[in-house]
Amino acid sequence: MAYIDLSVFNQAIDAQGEEVDIEVYSTQSYSDYGDLMSQTTTSYTCNAIFNDYGTMLQFNPEGAFSQNRFSFFFKGSQPGIATNNIIVRSNGERWRILKPSNHTTRGNLVVQEAPVSNA
* pLDDT at res. 1: 56
Residue 72 CA to residue 47 CA, distance in Å, equals 10
pLDDT, tens only, 103-117: 888 888 899 999 998
Record the pTM. 0.78
pLDDT, tens only, 27-78: 778 899 989 888 888 999 999 999 887 554 455 555 554 555 889 999 999 9
Q: Which domains does the chain show, CATH number per domain?
A: 7-54+66-118 (2.40.10.270)
> How far apart, in Å, are the Cα atoms of 30 and each of 34, 36, 86?
5, 4, 20
- The mean per-residue pLDDT over the stretch 2-23 comes to 88
| Strand bridging mode 94-97 / 86-88 | antiparallel
